[in-house]
Amino acid sequence: MKKIIKFLLLFAFILTSSPALAQEAVTCQSDAIVQRDDWLSKLADKFWDDPTAYPIIAEATNAKNALDSSYARIDDVDFIDVGWKLCIPGLPTQIGSTEDTPAPTILKVWDIWSAAGESQVIETLNREFETAHSNVEIRRTAKTIVNMQATTRPALGNPDGPDVAQVNPGRSDLAALVAAGLLADLTPYWQEYRWTNRFPAPLAARNRVLDDGSAYGRGNIYGLAPTAELVGVFYNKEKFAAAGVTVPTTLAKFEEVMATLKAAGEIPLMLGNLDGWPAINLYGEIQNAFINDSTYLDDLIYRRNRTSFDRSTAEQAAVKYKEWIDQGYFPPDFNGLAYDEAWQKFNNDQGAMLISGSWLSNDLLAGPNGSDLGFFLLPPLAKGDEKMTLAGASAAYVIRQNSPNTELAAEYIDWMMSDRAMQLWQQAGLTPVVPVDSSPDEPGLEADINAAWGQLVEQERIGPYLDWATPTFYNTLAISLQELGDDQMTPLEFAQELQADYAAFQAQQ
């Protein structure tokens, strides 16, 4: 790495002091033709195992361009286009002495931003962080969320593990890592960087754990997440207009919309529940309409104020869910239809509405009907009621307990929570956890989602996911909703099943 930095500095000096010499000195080890999803840091990592060496490719390519126009001219290192010809120079085996060059501080970061657009945001933020910290090198590893869950715990217990990683909130992930003594307490930085003034309070609770891991939802702060997610209703504006319906303001109006759409020959609500969790989100949103106390679910999940399980609202929501099935508002095979198949059907003009999360917006926008789609929150029972909405955040940034770079890691997380980061996330089509004043230039799906998130933050209506209530609640919900949908269980039996799960969990505490 020292040689690369030394070469970069020397290279920049040569180019600025003697362009002709630079042109003569550059020898391409190989040429690279830019492919889709390529970016300079990715190519630097491919050829030299060092993504931070990307400026060398830009400078070498520009030097070759001065002599041979078949090479690209790179004016912005954040942008390269498919088909461009780039010069990949060979690194010299020795560039003078490095004894006077201090070794860089290595900050190891594991993140979940593996998709192209997300990764580009992180690459940009990482480069800007390194620019502001001249002797810091970020060594980034991007993982899928599944791979992150499988590898994070052993890595955080390793002295050579990541300084910063991303972890899901909840008892089985964040709280378990705290109990194992693997995560650093971020409470001092919460105060130092004034995150409390920016980060939505309901989300902060999801990253609080007592230091022995015995209680979740209270205690010290152990993580922060930069992007948000919320569950709502995607709808096809053309189908709404053709049926003469508008965005509803109450649950009863929502049911009227579904009835009108069905009469017009449409599938009112596309749903695929083979995976189990889509019905959990739909049921949770229905239940939120029947819950009058905005603190009930938080108290239930975090075991606060001796809250007991409310079987009546669970049964009311189950009755409503079953009514929608019996009315034919879902596809007839919804319990055997996979989630990915369902949203792709919706994306191909089948179904007027789809209840899912904002994480799906980029896929829907890329589809044939992307410009015709909108988004609204499932409405409350009565107009103006403050219904909670299922919402959360991405996996949270955490710091390894024994990291030698704790202060730098905290500064890095603060950068990931900065206004600059929020703007880049919004530009990439994700929902920044801190609402950004500027919205997309054109009205549409992204603008609808950002407006809905801003509304939830302002009105403090960010609700938790019901399946967090106990370690087994997800499975109980998924199986019971399948059985309810297949007439193997009544709404009362469904509510009793949930109540029994929660009671068993309480008895173990």
Q: Helix, strand or coil for residue 285? A: helix
What is the spatial distance between Cα 469 and Cα 216, in angstroms, rounded to a whole number?
11
* Single pTM value for the model: 0.73
pLDDT at 189: 96
| Structure-block tokens of residue 472 | 């087994």
Burial class of 425 by CB neighbour count within 10 A (0 to 12, 13 to 18, 19+): buried
CA 356 from centre of chain:
14
Q: What is the pLDDT of residues 8-32, one digit of tens each?
A: 433 443 344 334 334 445 788 888 9
Mean pLDDT within 57-83? 86
Q: Residue 491 gets which letter from DSSP?
A: H
What is the spatial distance between Cα 147 and Cα 216, in angstroms, rounded to a whole number?
24
Output the CA–CA distances (angstroms, integers) from residue 119 to 7, 124, 428, in the order listed: 26, 9, 10
Mean pLDDT within 226-247? 97
Q: Which domains does the chain have, with CATH numbers?
A: 2-89 (no CATH), 105-224+395-432 (3.40.190.10), 229-393+445-508 (3.40.190.10)
Identity of the residue numbered 74: I
pLDDT over 50 (residue 492)? yes
pLDDT, averaged across the chain: 88
- Are residues 447 and 440 in contact, defined by beta-carbon separation less than 8 angstroms? yes
Q: Are strands 462-463 and 389-393 parallel, antiparallel or unpaired?
A: parallel
Output the CA–CA distances (angstroms, integers) from residue 18 to 4, 23, 25, 476, in the order listed: 20, 9, 11, 71
pLDDT over 80 (residue 7)? no
- Are residues 226 and 436 in contact, defined by beta-carbon separation less than 8 angstroms? no
- Triad 34, 38, 40: Cα angle to 5°: 90
Percent of the chain with pLDDT over 70: 92
Identity of the residue numbered 508: Q
Q: What is the pLDDT of residues 314-364, one digit of tens each?
A: 999 999 999 999 999 999 999 999 999 999 999 999 999 999 999 899 889
